[in-house]
Chains A and B, each alone.
Chain A
Amino acid sequence: MAINLKGIISPYNALKQAGKKPHTVQYPFEKKEAAERYRGFHYNDLEECIGCGTCATICQNEAIDMIFIEGIETTNGDSGLRPRVDNGRCCWCALCVDSCPTGSLSLTKEYLHVSEDPDSFLLIPGLDNPEGKEKISWISNGNSLLDYQRVPMPELEGKERVKSFAEVVLGYSEEQARAEAARCVGCGICTDNCPVHMHIPEYINAIARGDDEMAVKIIYDNNPLGETCGKVCTRRCEEICAVSKRGEPIAIRWLKRYATEKAKNKDILKEIVNPVILPPNGHSVGIIGAGPGGLTVAYYLALRGFDVTIYEAKDHAGGMIMYGIPKYRLPLDSIEKQIEYMKSIGVKILFNTKVGKDISFNELKQKHEAIYIGIGFEVPYKLGIKGEDAEGSIQAINFLRAINSEKHVEIGNKVVVVGGGNVAIDAARVSRRLGAEVTILYRRRVEDMPADWEEIEGAEDEGVVIHPQAIPLEIITDENNKVKAIKYANAEMIPDPKGGRPRPKIIEGDEHIIEVTSVIAAIGQEADYSFLPDEVINAIEIKRGRIVVNEYQQTKLPWLFAGGDIANRRADAISAIADGYRAVQGIEKLLLNEDIKNGGRLN
């Protein structure tokens, strides 16, 4: 091939570059400033981080492990662990950042690290590089891989609801449940706050992968009233859900509801749960009160071969979940299904048997080796104002019980409910369904109300008027001693100098009168211990209306256990179930003399 002249000369053009500055390398050497979204070393905001470990789970290099570091305490909602990154394994893909639920983890512009010491490549982000906060470059704000929006729960319209006692919440469809369950990161932070420590990530994971039956099995592992909790649980798990730090928590309660509702009747339920029932072990346990706590004790003891009998004063089991919770939240057939299932595995319930009246406590004591008391708080507090005994002044707890027993209660068309708890809201919403106009008087602010915010919103949707910072003074009656009106005063909130919650104080002269047909009081209840013999009362310790118990719900009398409202201050079903679950372990220890550890599988 002939050599072309151009091909020889043209490369010399490159010589003209000789005098130019180099493009990349600068002298003196300057460290290159990284781009705005450079993915360099990690930084972790240790305060924001809750140690959920999602970063470690998503890391495809297993470069992240979770370790305890000094100064970070383990609390409910914080595992106390913090991520440590092995920069020898990290590939800076930032999946950990993009899936961090709290948004505490980020990557920085820092990228240079030279060392002969392999250990120096282990970085505890945030602790080892506090200066990283100023150099954050890759953060998941607005670009998170997680879904922070909950799948909305289909509900009846407010106007439709007040026409009947039909269930307000319609339940997730299969598709909705899968989508909602898929939002869960499976960190298990929630289980700390659940009184029973249910296996929440496990059953949500089962729902996400489409195995609803496994979800039910897992739920019944330590909660025999899964369906009830799926409908009415106070769901403290959701309060500390990792996803709730930046968005709406996983709808744990609604997912439990979805799974448990898959079992249409007690036979299907029994088939799904398929519990192992041990042969009778000859021990006998008596349970007073068929509330959620008593039922839990009965269920798990029956599975373990104990002979259990529940003594229930009323004609239905369930206690407060049967008589206290309105049917639009928890329908009767749902409760009956769960109770029937329990009976089918060997739980015996004696209805209309009030201890102290139909059978004496001492008789019980002779029949059984251990006794569990779960009588709940049945006696309502009085308002303590004039006119309270008038006709038309009723107690919410009695009102709800009567309605749930399908009795007619005359409340007229204008009702005032006094109180701010769930019972007050229930009474108000039931009154709406009976056709009355309802006003709630509450002594503090709306945000102070102990009721669930969903309940408060639901009440408002249905047209209940909430009047906060209002203290009732007097119920005005007519000549027939019938309620005519209620007088109340507006209150202002006085901050507590000791740092407690602000206290309401009546504004002098700011008094008003509302004409009413009924006043429903819902300011709390207490227990009735009159059935207990004096020697028992004296032997056990009762503090502020509650029986003092140990970690196994055992009272000062070794054979006597207590749980539920009479032993804890939570006053909800799940706490009663938790008490029952602990009592099961205590009773087993007591009667079988077996050293069973906490959290062991019972079925």
Chain B
Amino acid sequence: MREKETTLYFGPQHPGITGNMMVKLKVAGDTIVKAETHVGYLHRAFEKLMEQRTWMQSFPIVCRICVPEPDPNEENLARAVEEIEGREVPERAKYIRVMVLELSRLAAYFLWMGGQAGTAGLYTVPQWSVGDRDYILDLFEELTGGRIYHMYIWAGGVRRDLPGGFPDKVLRTMDYIESRLPEYDKLMFENAIFQKRAKGIGVIDKDKAMEWGVVGPPLRGCGIQHDVRKDEPYEVYDKLDFVVPTYEGGDIWARAMVRRKEMEQSISIIRQVIEKMPGGEYYNKVPNPLNWYVPPGETYVKTESARGEFGYYVVSDGSLKPRRIHVRGPAYVHGVSLLENILVGANISDVAMIMNSLGVCPPEIER
């Protein structure tokens, strides 16, 4: 006999996600039969807003598309404008940008770690990881003047040079974070509870992964080595030594371990950046922002964010304002089609776990 189906509204506020998004679940007992995502709670029409603003005024907007990790957005818009304009970026600015991007990746992973452990009921991890993330936010505050929204990377380079003694502070923070990683291993990754909740749960079919357009840690957790930083290096990633960790299995565990290993790589990248960073200019000034006409053209740029390949399609018609900025965040795939697919057959208690392991960020879907 067929079990009676119930409709369960999961969200829009729930621990599985940074932001607000609702999943409408059809459940039979504890098992999910059908999942339907409902977005729109964070819709602020970022893309449309930018069409009404000058190029410079768009920079403070893009960072808001992802709260945990705003910098890939700034990086994308900056690089897109530079490509259309043919604007040179000073070498030092490129290194600073990579440092900022990797710091933001670390901060994003710490936040993810807290959420992932929290959804499994391990409530000490969020206390720690949010605290450790704060040390990175302190660095951002000192470098950019803002803790969450940095508005630091923009066309032509970065907004301000490193403050005095900043590299040493970064290195000290990196040493501290590195020393903390084994503690997290013991607390979370080696934790039997976490392993039991993560292994074999939320499996993405390796054969389907590419077809669905899965990117970032979820894809690398399927054993597929794909990383924009390696495949199409931007800024100075081609001059840096790092590996792209992959894990087999496609489950929550594999995705978690990919991120865990990437944190070590990020620390290593930041150390290399600080060692290799040249002196000189940090900003190739754009014209007065009130009269900044970007020549006609279009481009697609992508950046490897903590959630995967993050793309921007930017069109200029030669006027003061962007004709079109299309934001293609990884959450668009992960949060809608992929989530709806892999939730089927899962247990209700795993919904938040699965959702968090995919790194869904609703404003990217709704932009």
Contacts and interface: CB of A to CB of B under 8 A. Distances in A.
A39 B187 contact: no
Given A34-B141, A37-B163, A54 B57 contact: no
B208 interface: no
A538 interface: no
Contacts of A39: 145-146
Given A7-B190, A92-B146, A94-B151, A1 B199 contact: yes
A14 B128 CA distance: 10
Chain A contact residues: helix, strand, loop or mixed: loop
Nearest to A6: B190
Interface in B23-58: 53, 56-58
A94 B146 CA distance: 10
B296 interface: no
Given A24-B134, A145-B289, A93 B151 contact: yes
B60 A137 contact: no
Contact of B289 (A58, A138, A205): A58
Contact of B196 (A3, A35, A208): A3
A24 B132 CA distance: 9
Contacts of B57: 58, 60, 95
B109 interface: no
B190 A10 contact: yes
B85 to A, nearest CB: 14
B191 interface: yes
A35 B159 CA distance: 16
Give the contact-size bracket for chain A: 35 or more
Given A13-B187, A91-B149, A93-B59, A185 B142 contact: no
Contact of B191 (A11, A34, A60, A93): A11
Q: Which of B56, B144, B200, B291 has the most CB of A within 10 A?
A: B291
A36 interface: yes
Interface string A1-41: 10110111011011001000011100000000011111100
A183 interface: yes
Contact of B142 (A35, A54, A143): A35
A334 interface: no
Contacts of B193: 7, 11
A184 interface: yes
B14 interface: no
A99 B191 CA distance: 53
Given A35-B141, A36-B142, A137-B145, A179 B290 contact: no
Nearest to B61: A60
B330 to A, nearest CB: 25
B186 interface: yes
A92 B200 CA distance: 45
B281 interface: no
A182 interface: yes
Contact of B145 (A22, A38, A145): A38
B268 interface: no
A38 B143 CA distance: 9
Contacts of A181: 291
B186 A10 contact: yes
Interface in B97-123: 122
B186 A13 contact: yes
Interface string B152-164: 0000000110010
Interface string A99-118: 10000000100000000000
A23 B187 contact: no
A14 B288 contact: no
A188 B200 CA distance: 67
B287 A10 contact: no
Interface string B172-200: 00000000000101111011110110011
Nearest to B293: A209
A93 B60 contact: yes
A364 interface: no
A183 B195 contact: no
Contacts of A143: 159-160, 283
B213 interface: no
Contacts of B200: 1
B163 A36 contact: yes
B341 interface: no
B191 A10 contact: yes
Nearest to A8: B192
Given A7-B191, A185-B288, A37 B60 contact: no
Interface of B: 53, 56-61, 122, 124, 128, 131-132, 134, 138, 141-146, 149, 151, 159-160, 163, 183, 185-188, 190-193, 195-196, 199-200, 283, 285-293, 320
18 contacts: A10-B191, A11-B188, A13-B183, A17-B128, A24-B134, A35-B142, A39-B145, A39-B146, A58-B56, A60-B58, A92-B146, A93-B60, A95-B57, A95-B289, A107-B145, A145-B56, A146-B288, A182-B287
Q: Which 6 A-B pairs have the closest CB atoms?
A: A7-B192, A93-B60, A60-B57, A182-B291, A39-B145, A10-B186
Given A23-B132, A36-B163, 10 more contacts: A7-B190, A7-B193, A10-B191, A24-B134, A35-B141, A93-B60, A99-B289, A145-B285, A179-B287, A185-B290
